[in-house]
Structure 1
């Protein structure tokens, strides 16, 4: 096994160098002819905002969620109910992060460039978020019902 690892090391190094080259090329293309200072401020601001503001908020929200939803003994495994809230909240948050100008009605140029109505995004995002939470709740209920069936009934039904 050691021989296979040492033989793969030059290939990994080559792939890492290639990925750095592609990243450098993309970075140069991004900064070419654009507001370099504005882009750099955006990247640094996004990193600082995420690491210093949002990450602690994620932690506090997760602890609060676990405190509300999970009543367990110390050392007991975590309850799966937390993940049935985390996943739809995460997907909804990513969608909000990507589409926030349209969801919050901050994009004045959208109608002019696309000739589409921008007023539908908030309702659709809320509907999608509600659907994600509803699907997650149904999945949780199905998991709990399946777990409550006697073991021999589940094994007999699988045959």
Structure 2
């Protein structure tokens, strides 16, 4: 047998994956160069502060929150030979992550921390909190519907089939 020594064998993925990875590194390098052009010391201080805040405050906080959610939903490991099911806690994790991501991105507007927003844009800044709350409610509602559908599907697939009862002869 002839052994193939192609790129996929050596790299472990397709050439398209490698191309996309190299393009993303090039884009990140370009963005980094543009970002550091203005105030490099301020950017470095901001990144170090953000990393410390994340690692020392936020990571323990959301780890504890996730552990509490796991305890409340009763997450257990699947048996070794059993089928893999998505834990119920994921139906809380996903909408919470999306909601918090939107809050992190838009918090100045959601919390009305942008002075002069109306005069600069002509838009009403008072709508962002309500919209964020509506989106958060929609995320959790869709997640609850997905949980109900998964529970119903799992309930149907685990019910034993009933054999028709044999009629007794009199």
TM-score bucket (shorter structure): 0.7 to 0.9
Query: Does 1:25 pair with 2:27?
Result: no
Q: After TM superposition, give the deviation of residue 2 of structure 1 in Å.
A: 5.4
Unaligned regions of 5+ residues in structure 2, if any?
161-170
8 Å Cα contact 1:103/1:121 also seen in 2: yes
Following the alignment from structure 1 to structure 2, what is the Cα–Cα distance between the partners of residues 133 and 19? 32
The equivalent of 2:71 in structure 1 is 67
2:95, 2:136 within 8 Å by CA — same for their partners in 1?
Answer: yes
Q: CA deviation at 1:129?
A: 0.3
Structure with the higher helix share, 1 or 2: 1
1:30-109 alignment runs, 5 A limit: 30-32=35-37, 34-70=38-74, 72=76, 76=79, 80-109=87-116
Q: Is the 8 A contact 1:70 1:79 kept in 2?
A: no
Count of aligned pairs? 150
Q: Which residue of 2 aligns with 1:3?
A: 5
Deviations 1:103-158 (A, max 9, x none): 111011322221101111011101110111011111111111122125699xxxxx
Larger radius of gyration: 2
Against the structure 1 CA distance between its residues 88 and 3, is the aligned structure 2 distance closer, same or farther, given a 3 Å change threshold?
A: same
TM-score, normalising length: structure 1: 0.77
When normalised by structure 2's length, the TM-score is 0.73
Q: Aligned Cα RMSD in Å?
A: 3.1
